[in-house]
Amino acid sequence: MSEITLGILGGGQLGSMLSIAAKKLNIKTTIYCDDQDAPAQKFCDEFICAKYNDKDEINNFANKVNIITYEFENIPFKTLNELSKLKTVSPKPSVNRLIQHRLAEKDFVNKLNIRTTRYVHVQNKEELSTLDDFFPGILKTTTMGYDGKGQYLIKDVNQIENFNIDFSKEYILEKLVKLKKEISVIITRFDNNRYEIYEPIENIHEDQILRYSQIPADISQKLFNQSKDWAIIIAEELKYVGTLCVEFFVDRNDNLYVNEIAPRVHNSGHLTINAYNISQFENHIRAVCSLEQVSLKKLSNAKMTNLIGNQIIYYRENPILNDNQFFFDYLKKEIKEKRKMGHITTLK
Ligand code: ADP
Ligand code: MG
């Protein structure tokens, strides 16, 4: 019987699924989250609700656990750094700091000779109005964005006035890629050249929010290999420990671009729960807790559908599923527009 208690910062659905995976491995979980309605409290062994900058509560949390990880990236660097003086934090705080800043993240990827979209740092309106070459483009806050939040799609330079852009924040402007499709690769790294990698997943977004993920991705063998190779290079270069997701764009000429890196388990990997012998969540726990590495085996093709906002209601009221369907309700207290409420995975 293991005596490990894993501390998890963040209490959303990813925290719930990590707690479920931990339980299977006899690992206890303590979740720390600033939201008193955090859904993961229903799945963990202990729940601490406090602000991420509450020094006393953070200390208290560190004292209760053996190892610390996190399920979302927007945690203050100072908090992760303080925690890492007390207990091992995986992935390392420095990795999170790099990835949570879109500019630093893209600079890092480019230095590895891996293609990203064209991008430029924007600090004020005057700068933005001189950047003709980058339109049509997407203006994104450098930090704290998710599910398309903090983003402006701007067709041309004359349109800037139509948007009420808050320039107290910093941005990057990215040239719009003519997308053929989006894919992601999830990799769990244990140690130097020791990793388990899932096959590329095809992702379909609606309103910049992930709606469907499926395997196999409908891509060429070349892209299949290249996306996996790039994910391995990124994970190795970061000396990453745990599960990481690389999101990619494929353009109409079949060029591959890294869009962004998520230093955590990822929505597109929910289908790994049912389609593989070991899910991305279990692999994350195995890696950060230094448990045995088990070879991945794909069991089935699969399609995952996110249930966003009101879409959950139908499935809550009609829980009639086929043998090959798996419904997950995140048990969030309130239904909100654009909020991920649950998902369904269908094995094929
Ligand atoms: P988030 O952190 O919100 O996930 P992303 O940078 O991944 O932000 O953007 C969300 C989605 O918006 C992407 O998955 C893609 O569909 C679209 N998008 C973002 N940047 C670009 C771009 N440069 N070209 C084309 N589509 C983009
Ligand atoms: Mg994204």
148, pLDDT greater than 90: no
Residues having CB within 6 Å of any atom of ligand 1: 117, 138, 145-148, 174, 176-177, 179, 182, 205, 208, 247, 259-260
pLDDT tens digit sequence for 263-293 = 999 999 999 999 999 999 999 999 999 999 9
Which ligand minimizes its atom distance to the CA of 147? 1
The arithmetic mean of pLDDT across residues 116-145, rounded, is 94
Distance CA 2, CA 323 (A): 33
Using CA positions, which residue lies closest to atom 22 of ligand 1?
176
Please tell me the predicted confidence (pLDDT) of residue 2.
66
Please tell me the predicted confidence (pLDDT) of residue 1.
52
Residue 296 banded pLDDT, cuts 50, 70, 90: very high
Full DSSP string of 89-133: ESS-HHHHHHHTSHHHHHHHHHHTT--B--EEEE-SHHHHTT-GG
Please tell me the predicted confidence (pLDDT) of residue 193.
96
pLDDT tens digit sequence for 245-255 = 999 999 999 99
317, pLDDT greater than 70: yes
Distance CA 338, CA 302 (A): 24
Cβ–Cβ < 8 Å for 185, 246: yes
Q: How many CB atoms lie within 10 A of CB 236?
A: 15
The pTM score is 0.96
The arithmetic mean of pLDDT across residues 321-329, rounded, is 95
The arithmetic mean of pLDDT across residues 80-90, rounded, is 98
Please tell me the predicted confidence (pLDDT) of residue 150.
81
The residue written with tokens 């990793």 in the block is: 195
The arithmetic mean of pLDDT across residues 60-87, rounded, is 97
